[in-house]
Structure formats: structure tokens, C-alpha cells
Amino acid sequence: MVELHIPPALSAPRRWRSYKEDEEAAICWQPLAECVSGDIARVSTSFEHPCDSSEVIQVIIDPPHIFKCIRNNLLKAGKFLLPSDKEVQHFHFEALLDYEEQQAGLRAVPKLTKAHIRPNAFQKLSVKLAVQASLL
């Protein structure tokens, strides 16, 4: 009979816990944290299974949520760099929205709204708004 070891963090009922409460959970999921740490030199789409070294866990990205993360990071930092080393700043979008609101008649970006550029706390959670803003 094969004995199956399930770490306490995976077998316990779902509840919020700190890593201090369950050191094994911290060790078990550390590779995932490293995988998504944001350190470009260490970016990886997979990591070794914490309980079975012969297995590899693949991380799959959810594209719409990546748009939301990019938009929220732009709001927080005020800018980001493109691969071509060109800088995109939030005030570019602010200036475009202000210009568009002053124009009568035809607008270059008619669907651009304050919710896309200056989202409130609930609008920041909206994947739909983030994807729309990236497509404008």
C-alpha cells in the first residue's frame, strides 16, 4: 500500500493563516512565490512540486487579469517601461482624457471614460474596465 503525505496546509479546512502558523505551508509554496516574484532575471513559468521532486508544476497566466495588474501598477507607480526602453506615464492618459472631454463632436477615443483612467476602489477590481482601457 502506498502512503500518501499531504501537508497540513493542504489538508486543513480553508482559513486564513500566517506562514508562522504553518511553517510547512511556507516551505511548500515558496517556489510559487519565487516564480511570481517579479524579478525579471528569475522569471519562470514552472517550479518543482514541493512534495514530489519528480513532478513539475506549470503556472498558467490569465491574460485578462494581467491587463488589470498592468493597469493597477500604472496607477500605483504612475509609469512603466516598454521593452523598447520608452516610458509610458499615467499623465499621458490623463491629458488625453482631459483633451477628449473638451472636444465637441468627433473624438479620437470616444469610449474613454473617467472610470478607465481614474477608477475608484471598486472599478480597480474590474477586469472588464482594464481590458477595455488597454484596447482603446
DSSP for 39-97, please give it: -GGG--SEEE-SS-TT-EEEP---HHHHHHHHHHHHHHHSEEE-TTS-EEEHHHHHHHH
Q: What is the mean pLDDT of residues 116-126?
A: 89
Same domain, 113 and 97: yes
Within-domain flag for 130: yes
Q: What is the pLDDT of residue 12?
A: 43
Same domain, 54 and 72: no
Same domain, 100 and 131: yes
Q: What is the pLDDT of residue 108?
A: 83
The parent domain of residue 109 ranges over 63-135
Within-domain flag for 80: yes
Within-domain flag for 2: no
Indicate the number of domains in the chain: 2
Q: What is the pLDDT of residue 43?
A: 65
Examine the fold and report which residue of 40, 58, 76 is the final residue of a domain before the chain moves on: 58
Q: What is the pLDDT of residue 29?
A: 53
Q: What is the mean pLDDT of residues 94-108?
A: 85
Q: What is the pLDDT of residue 38?
A: 54
pLDDT tens by residue, 1-52: 444 444 444 444 444 444 444 555 555 555 555 545 555 566 677 888 888 8
Same domain, 16 and 79: no
Q: What is the mean pLDDT of the chain?
A: 73
**Residue (of 71, 67, 45) closest to 58 by Cα position:** 45
Q: What is the pLDDT of residue 28?
A: 54
Within-domain flag for 3: no
Q: What is the mean pLDDT of residues 79-96?
A: 83
Asked whether the predicted pLDDT for residue 92 surpasses 80, the reply is yes
